[in-house]
Structure 1
């Protein structure tokens, strides 16, 4: 973080006096972006501080800088880092990134087995998420907890979400799955051991050795963080389709087909 005068830490009950300022800025920021968020009261934010499920950024002089909190869903099988907000006077100093990293660590500490997810329209947040290991996913891979989805009712795009049977919207779903990350780490360790045991490996790069000695084809996939510009193009197109909507002409379908072919 660029500004060394800013402290990012777990919020405590002593921070409750910041709650009204935080919720006011959440609402103001959502209106400025033309999007909606689940509205939260100062009392709700204070509760998160009391529970130790929030991260706050303040200056050494005590000025509020940023905030984010944790919500658990689906019997704690899913965790969301919600309400990320930064004081406009301190934007552009890496505050959001520092808060996201700290709230992610706090989520892993409190819910080590939970999948961490989020919905966002912000490319900056998506970039930070990708650094933490999140991957873009379909909405079906997120929590089915109705209480979570009720929060979307205050969003200006809620009609799009309902029209798409809650399968798509302008937000991108992103997920960190600890079980999948553990599997990937084990597979990498297996490959590293195989390479160390045989420095003159003649295997093709896409092949790996399974635990039973059998050869397995490793699934190829695009790395999200390494193909972010491609993803930006997809988001612009997704926004165009969902906001324009209803165009079922042959020309429209041909345009979509051409775009997707060149995208992937």
Structure 2
């Protein structure tokens, strides 16, 4: 097994359908919500270089993508999935680190946030410098919260006026980490974007 974690591009668009299947399977396995995304939406993220894909040979085994909100002052690393057969191998951590570094490169001043029900994702986020926050500290962009419509727990979010749900909000604020250096990772990502196409 030789799993590569790459910044996705247009050449990976053929994996979009399978990625959507993996997202759906993951939501069903956990019994919790995950917003559904279309293959076209996933392809657009790949085409624009705002996604990370994990490949074992030619098989997609993991994925995550970037979304921006509130005039790019907030960035979300969304849709993290790892194929069930590849879990507990550290792949999720590698994907999260790569998408985090890509977000920092593309949007260095933005706050990076996520909402999750997964304990493993919370642990990974904490290692990256995220902290748990109330939803009031996240983006107020209605388009972000509209993305939760595909989640089975959307009614809970709406009943609570978008103040809370089953998800935990987590936030990385670059102002709180002024000495964090990612220049080596930034260089690697830039080379990937340039040469992996």
User: How many correspondences in the alignment?
Assistant: 180
How far apart are 1:180 and its partner, in Å? 2.0
1:206-251, CA deviations, whole angstroms, 9 ceiling, x for partnerless residues?
A: xxxxxxxxxxxxxxxxxxxxxxxxxxxxxxxxxxxxxxxxxxxxxx
Is 1:7 the equivalent of 2:9?
Answer: no
Equivalent residues in 2 for 1:70-219, closer than 5 Å = 70-182=66-178, 185=179
Give me the whole-angstrom Cα distance separating, in 2, the residues matched to 1:166 and 1:43: 27
Residue 194 of structure 2 is matched in structure 1 by none
Deviations 1:156-187 (A, max 9, x none): 222221121111111100000001222xx59x
Give the whole-Å Cα distance in 2 for the aligned partners of 1:160 and 1:46: 30
CA contact (8 A) 1:38 1:155 kept: yes
Could you tell me which residue of structure 2 aligns to residue 68 of structure 1? 64
Larger Rg: 1
CA contact (8 A) 1:117 1:176 kept: yes
Tell whether the 8 Å contact from 1:37 to 1:151 is kept in structure 2 after alignment.
Answer: no
Aligned residue among 12, 29, 33 for 1:32: 29
TM-score (norm 2): 0.88
Cα drift, residue 70 of structure 1: 0.3
Query: Higher mean Cα deviation, 132-141 or 27-36?
Result: 27-36
Q: 2:18 aligns with which of 18, 21, 25?
A: 21
1:53 maps to 2:47: no
CA contact 1:119–1:171 (8 Å) conserved in 2: yes
SS in 2 for 1:105: helix
Distance 2:26 2:67 in 1: 21
List structure 1 segments (4+ residues) > 6 angstroms apart after TM superposition.
Answer: none
Q: Give the Cα separation in 1 of the matches to 2:126 and 2:52.
A: 20
Secondary structure, aligned partner of 2:177: helix
Tell me if structure 1 keeps the 8 A contact 2:36–2:151.
Answer: no
Q: What displacement does 1:119 show?
A: 0.2
Q: Which one scores higher on RCO, CA 8 angstroms, separation ≥ 6?
A: 2
Alignment check: 8 A CA contact 1:65 1:86 kept:
yes
- Counterpart CA distance in 2 for 1:93 and 1:180 is 30
Q: Name structure 1 gaps, 5 residues minimum.
A: 187-264
Greater CA deviation, 156-165 or 106-115? Answer: 156-165
**1:252-263 matched pairs, under 5 angstroms:** none
For 1:36 and 1:151, locate their aligned partners in 2 and report how far apart those are by CA, in whole Å: 12
Give the TM-score normalised by structure 1.
0.66
Q: Distance in 1 between matches of 2:58 and 2:150?
A: 32
- SS of 1:69's equivalent? strand
